[in-house]
Amino acid sequence: MTGQYDLVVAGGGLVGSAFAALLADRCPDLSIAVVESRPFSGHYQDSEFDPRVVALTETSRQLLVQIGVWPAIAERRVAPYTHMSVWDADGTGFIEFDSSDVGALCLGHIVENSNIVGALQQRLQQLANIDWICPAKVAQVEQQNNQISIELDNSEQLSSTLLVAADGALSSVRDLCGFQLDDTPYGHSAIVATVRCQHPHSNTARQWFASDGPLAFLPLPEKHSISFVWSQREQKADELMALSDEEFCTQLTRASSACLGTVESVSKRFCFPLHQRHTSDYVQPGIALLGDAAHTIHPLAGQGVNLGFKDVIALVDELQRASQRGLPLGDMSVLGRYQRQRKPDNLATMLAMKGFKELFASDNLEVRLLRNEGMSLVNRMGLVKKQLVRQAMGL
């Protein structure tokens, strides 16, 4: 049996679900299938914090408002942060931002991944023009005569004029369709978990840049709880993962200069090897890559999903326009416009992250002096700082 759709989305994670929900809402006449390999995660576990969180920019939050899921997300739990402090951990450089610098209520929100995905997947189930196919995996893709044939791992066959791959950093659709990928390991792994600190976090996001990698403390809704992302050279990360909880807390207290007092306890730790990945093209006739399937970047500025959400907005705009004009959705004249809008922005952010990582990894004395001076100088420059804050907020 073959299910015929206007469009199939591979991957119902953060980006794929947001894309499908926004498009289904804007174009109720389109029939859409979303294929997700992991079982439905709409049932949110609120007993413990999810170790995976994202720092959402205002642009990303607005997207979730448009889709209609922000109230449900906010009702569960989110942590708005009003202040951000950034240190050069090997020097004296310091810069701080406050939401009042730009007259905003907060700089962004820290939200658990499972909260966002759960709310989005629940929304997908309510939309009449979406078929939610889960758990199932896209296993084969064939392109012929402006039609895409998709075989799932449960042998079900789907067919559509456009396949949107939002199946994450290790996208199998990207590989099945032969997209050329530049995959460069950063040589870093990121350790993530939730910790409880002696002092309250005061709704402040904190980040330390050290030569062996950045450390971020992201405030959670409970005032002593922090989600951290600690990027370290791979061998050092393995050593930190092997420590007992008590020893790990001591190391983390030291790395954070005990700025929230002692780190008192840590949840189960997870470690992710970090890669910079970017495909030469985001589109082929009948296929479009979205989010991490097209680009993955170092989490040091917490921009991964925020870039993915900007891809969502751009592709939905193009498809809505095409649909109104009666153009085939998989046509390169439609998809090419999406690629032209998104590739420069993603590439620029990727290069900036690489530059940041290298700037702070440098042992060169002059570079270190310059970077310390630079940070402190920017901290005193009201207008430049204002512009930086607006950019970080995705405005």
Ligand X SMILES: Cc1cc2nc3c(=O)[nH]c(=O)nc-3n(C[C@H](O)[C@H](O)[C@H](O)COP(=O)(O)OP(=O)(O)OC[C@H]3O[C@@H](n4cnc5c(N)ncnc54)[C@H](O)[C@@H]3O)c2cc1C
- 302 lines the binding site for ligand X (CB under 6 A): yes
Residues 229-258 touching ligand X, rule: CB under 6 A, are: 229
Task: Quote the least distance from Cβ 269 to ligand X, whole Å.
Answer: 11
Please pick, from the candidates 192, 237, 266, 393, the single residue that binds ligand X as defined by CB under 6 A: 192
Per-residue mark of binding to ligand X, 268-287 (x: CB under 6 A): ----x---------------
With the C-alpha atoms ordered 200, 269, 190, 75, is the resulting torsion angle positive or negative? negative
| Contacts of residue 366, Cβ cutoff 8 Å, sequence gap at least 6 | none
b/e burial code for range 356-390 (CB count within 10 A of at least 16 → b): bbeebbeeeeeebeebbeebeeebeeeeebeebbe
Stretch that binds ligand X, among 94-102, 235-243, 252-260, 303-311 (CB under 6 A): 303-311
Of all residues in the shown chain, the one whose CB is closest to ligand X is 13
Task: Quote the least distance from Cβ 65 to ligand X, whole Å.
Answer: 17
Label the pairing between strands 295-296 and 213-219.
unpaired
Per-residue mark of binding to ligand X, 306-335 (x: CB under 6 A): x-x---------------------------
- 172 lines the binding site for ligand X (CB under 6 A): yes
- 118 lines the binding site for ligand X (CB under 6 A): no
- 215 lines the binding site for ligand X (CB under 6 A): no
- 227 lines the binding site for ligand X (CB under 6 A): no
Stretch that binds ligand X, among 100-108, 252-260, 295-303, 339-347 (CB under 6 A): 295-303
Q: Could you tell me the end-to-end alpha-carbon distance of the chain, in angstroms, rounded to an integer?
A: 46
- 111 lines the binding site for ligand X (CB under 6 A): no
Please pick, from the candidates 5, 6, 7, 14, the single residue that binds ligand X as defined by CB under 6 A: 14
To 5 degrees, how large is the angle CA 138–CA 140–CA 146? 105
Task: Quote the least distance from Cβ 365 to ligand X, whole Å.
Answer: 31
Considering beta carbons, is residue 172 or 279 the nearer one to ligand X? 172
Task: Quote the least distance from Cβ 144 to ligand X, whole Å.
Answer: 20
Query: What span, in angstroms and rounded, lies between the C-alpha atoms of 385 and 393?
Result: 12
- 219 lines the binding site for ligand X (CB under 6 A): no
- 38 lines the binding site for ligand X (CB under 6 A): yes
- 133 lines the binding site for ligand X (CB under 6 A): no
- 225 lines the binding site for ligand X (CB under 6 A): no
- 350 lines the binding site for ligand X (CB under 6 A): no
- 55 lines the binding site for ligand X (CB under 6 A): yes
The residue to which tokens 């807390």 are assigned: 249
Q: Which residues bind ligand X (CB under 6 A)?
A: 10-16, 35-38, 54-55, 137-138, 166-169, 172, 190, 192, 229, 272, 291-292, 299, 302-306, 308
